[in-house]
Amino acid sequence: MKAPADLLLLPQWVVPVESAGTDDPARACGALAEHAVVVRGGEILDVLPADAAQARYDAAQTVDLPNHALIPGLVNLHGHAAMSLLRGFADDQPLMTWLNEHIWPAEKKHVSEAFVRDGTLLAAAEMLAGGITTCNDMYFFPQTAGEAFLQAGMRATLGIIVLEFPSAYASDADDYLAKGLAMRDELKDEPLLSFTFAPHAPYTIADATFGRINTLAEQLSLPIHIHIHETANEVRDSLKQYGMRPLERLAGLGLLGPNFIGVHAIHVNDAEIDLLAQNGCHVAHCPTAGLKLGSGIAPVNRFMAAGVNFGFGTDGPASNNRLDLVAEMRLASLLAKGASGDAAALPAAAALKAATLDAACALNLDSRIGSIVPGKRADLVAVDLRALSSQPVFDPVSHLVYVAGREHVTHVWVDGKLKLNDRRLVDLDTDDLNARAHYWRTKLTA
């Protein structure tokens, strides 16, 4: 008798990123031709040859994906989703001018629960349509953002954001922490949501606040998600104010460890890379944002050599201006090669792993997501490689990084539920999202 299943996916290739029961990296990163993925109860039940799957399972629904590669959902390791409403609002400015003269004043005036709800929904729609099934978010009103991610049916890690200065959301560091902890209490039983402490950056957080965050993060076993060493100025200012570089200061405060996710890490020296590696820290590499704000290029090849785990982030849509992790994979790989003079730097399989399993590992979610192996949640993305511009296909993994674009994503499942069906969003009303974006554009420019 056949075993029951909810879903039988029959792609041309399954790219599992890791394989249960084998240490063979070629098999893990390479594509399995004529294999099926079986889903039951939102979980990946089996990955096996297609013939055997059809003989063994009786699925309520079978989806043929004859020209597609099926990959794990992409994990956006750093973003500010609601800032989608500020996309293109202030471009071509260096980081501190951009923040001080444009972004922070606009946020002070306009950010509200309604702004965060509409902006997060808009970003979730963009991310899901581009194959991103999980994002690590840092923004004001995280409870509202969490509710929007749940409405979109997307997996998200919500930052308990902390700053020393007041905003429409909170008055001081204590207030940010109190509100963030209450948010976590409210949402902690939602299976699609997880949490980090998200102190904005070393230059916006005092030592005493870092101390409190560190204690709380240990008590609650939550990651700490923070921008670090983004610009050369940040490092210079820290030397002036504290007599030490930001990472040195954070190390002294006891913050570095396997629960630490440093965003950007562009201006880091070899000793700091070793420090990150020795402490098991993770990096969210945001190549487009680093280039667009003129901050620089993170030394990814040196992270790899030292054994620092990293994933990719889009950063906010105001500093990118796309939420496109397929593009970040390609750019990261090309930059790693160009910056190091080594064409073997960040090869395609490593780039795909960074965008999925390694990012999941940074979020401490790798036991649940990040690869296509039995027992993990079914966050799955189908990429159509049928286009003439994709022909011929010798190696689908190479094509996923160097050829495909997010427009080739056709189907997305989160937790086994269909979110994108033949390029159409299932749960979100795109006309409504357009109308909301237009409303905010008018308001922001009034």
Decide if 317 contacts 328 (C-beta within 8 A).
no
Decide if 314 contacts 323 (C-beta within 8 A).
yes
Please identify, using beta-carbon distances, which residue of 315 and 366 lies nearer to Zn ion: 315
* 183 residue type, one letter: M
DSSP state of 131: T
Please identify, using beta-carbon distances, which residue of 204 and 269 lies nearer to Zn ion: 204
333-338 LR contacts (CB < 8 Å, sep 24+): 333/401, 333/402, 335/287, 335/297, 335/300, 336/300, 336/301
Minimum CB separation from Zn ion for residue 419, in Å? 25
First to last CA, the chain: 66
Over the window 313 to 332, marking each residue x when it contacts Zn ion by CB under 5 A and - when it does not, the resulting string is: --x-----------------
Residue in the block written with tokens 């796309």: 322
The stretch among 183-191, 205-213, 307-315, 337-345 that binds Zn ion (CB under 5 A) is 307-315
Minimum CB separation from Zn ion for residue 319, in Å? 7
Minimum CB separation from Zn ion for residue 227, in Å? 6
Minimum CB separation from Zn ion for residue 416, in Å? 31
The stretch among 97-105, 246-254, 309-317, 353-361 that binds Zn ion (CB under 5 A) is 309-317
Please identify, using beta-carbon distances, which residue of 158 and 372 lies nearer to Zn ion: 158
Distance of CA 396 to the CA centre of its chain: 22
Minimum CB separation from Zn ion for residue 282, in Å? 15
Minimum CB separation from Zn ion for residue 289, in Å? 7
Range 6-25, binding Zn ion (CB under 5 A):
none
Minimum CB separation from Zn ion for residue 313, in Å? 7
Minimum CB separation from Zn ion for residue 204, in Å? 12
The structure tokens listed for 143 are 């409870």
Over the window 261 to 300, marking each residue x when it contacts Zn ion by CB under 5 A and - when it does not, the resulting string is: ----------------------------------------
The stretch among 20-28, 30-38, 64-72, 308-316 that binds Zn ion (CB under 5 A) is 308-316
CA atoms of 223 and 159, how far apart (whole Å): 9
Q: What share of the chain is helix, strand, coil (3-state, %, to 5)?
A: 45, 25, 35
The stretch among 123-131, 177-185, 312-320, 435-443 that binds Zn ion (CB under 5 A) is 312-320
* 109 residue type, one letter: K
CA atoms of 341 and 349, how far apart (whole Å): 19
Range 202-261, binding Zn ion (CB under 5 A):
none
**Rounded to 5°, angle at Cα 298 from 237 and 134:** 105
CA atoms of 220 and 160, how far apart (whole Å): 12
Range 106-165, binding Zn ion (CB under 5 A):
none
Q: Which residues pair with 57 in a beta bridge?
A: 3
Looking at beta carbons, which residue is closest to Zn ion? 315
The stretch among 69-77, 235-243, 310-318, 328-336 that binds Zn ion (CB under 5 A) is 310-318
Minimum CB separation from Zn ion for residue 233, in Å? 16
Minimum CB separation from Zn ion for residue 384, in Å? 31
**Beta-carbon neighbour count of residue 84 at 10 Å?**
27
CA atoms of 118 and 122, how far apart (whole Å): 6
Please identify, using beta-carbon distances, which residue of 7 and 156 lies nearer to Zn ion: 156
Please identify, using beta-carbon distances, which residue of 315 and 384 lies nearer to Zn ion: 315
Please identify, using beta-carbon distances, which residue of 319 and 340 lies nearer to Zn ion: 319
Residue 129 phi, psi (nearest 5): -65, -25
CA atoms of 288 and 328, how far apart (whole Å): 7
Please identify, using beta-carbon distances, which residue of 38 and 124 lies nearer to Zn ion: 124
**Beta-carbon neighbour count of residue 398 at 10 Å?**
16
Please identify, using beta-carbon distances, which residue of 194 and 288 lies nearer to Zn ion: 288
Minimum CB separation from Zn ion for residue 231, in Å? 12
Of 17, 37, 13, which Cα lies nearest the Cα of 27? 17
| Number of residues in contact with Zn ion under rule CB under 5 A | 1
Please identify, using beta-carbon distances, which residue of 162 and 378 lies nearer to Zn ion: 162
Please identify, using beta-carbon distances, which residue of 284 and 404 lies nearer to Zn ion: 284
Please identify, using beta-carbon distances, which residue of 170 and 198 lies nearer to Zn ion: 198
Distances 235 to 124, 287, 385, 400 between C-alpha atoms, Å: 33, 19, 44, 36
Which pairing describes strands 409-414 and 417-421: parallel, antiparallel, or unpaired?
A: antiparallel
Binding site for Zn ion (CB under 5 A): 315
